[in-house]
Amino acid sequence: MLTLTAALVDVPSESHDEARLADLVEEALREQAHLSVERLGNTIVARTDLGRAERVLIGGHLDTVPSAGNLPHRVEGDLLFGLGSCDMKGGVAVALKLAAAVVEPIRDVTYVFYEGEEVASEFNGLQRLADQRPELLEAHLAILMEPSDAGIEAGCQGTIRVEVTIPGVRSHSARSWMGVNAVHGAAEVLARLGDYEPARPVVDGLEYREGLNAVGIRGGIAGTVIPDECVVTVNYRFAPDKRLDEAIEHVRGVFAGYSVTVVDESPAARPGLDRAAAREFVAAVGAAPRPKFGWTDVARFAALGVPALNFGPGDPSLAHAANEHVPIAQLHSCLTQLQRWLVGE
Ligand SMILES: [Zn+2]
222-250 pLDDT tens trace: 999 999 999 999 999 999 999 999 999 99
pLDDT at res. 275: 81
57-110 pLDDT tens trace: 999 999 999 999 999 999 999 999 999 999 999 999 999 999 999 999 999 999
289 Cα to the center of ligand 1, angstroms: 19
118 Cα to the center of ligand 1, angstroms: 7
- Rounded Cα–Cα distance for residues 53 and 286 (Å): 24
291 in helix, strand or coil? strand
Percent of the chain with pLDDT over 70: 100
Q: Is the predicted pLDDT of residue 345 greater than 80, yes or no?
A: no
Catalytic residue among 63, 210, 297, 324: 63
Annotated active-site residue 195? The verdict is no
Catalytic residue among 87, 117, 153, 315: 117
pLDDT at res. 292: 86
Separation of CA 41 from chain center: 21
pLDDT at res. 236: 97
Annotated active-site residue 315? The verdict is no
Query: Please, what is the average pLDDT of the chain?
Result: 95
pLDDT at res. 128: 96
- Rounded Cα–Cα distance for residues 46 and 104 (Å): 14
The total number of residues written for the chain in this structure: 345
61 Cα to the center of ligand 1, angstroms: 7
150 Cα to the center of ligand 1, angstroms: 14
156 Cα to the center of ligand 1, angstroms: 14
129 Cα to the center of ligand 1, angstroms: 18
178-197 pLDDT tens trace: 999 999 999 999 999 999 99
- Rounded Cα–Cα distance for residues 70 and 92 (Å): 19
The set of residues, in sequence order, having a beta carbon less than 8 Å from that of 152 and lying 6+ positions away, is 281, 282, 285, 287, 289, 290, 309, 310, 311
144 Cα to the center of ligand 1, angstroms: 9
263 in helix, strand or coil? strand
Section 4-9 average pLDDT: 98
298 in helix, strand or coil? helix
What region, left, alpha or beta, does residue 207 occupy, with left being phi > 0 and alpha being psi -120 to 50 degrees?
A: beta
- Rounded Cα–Cα distance for residues 60 and 110 (Å): 12
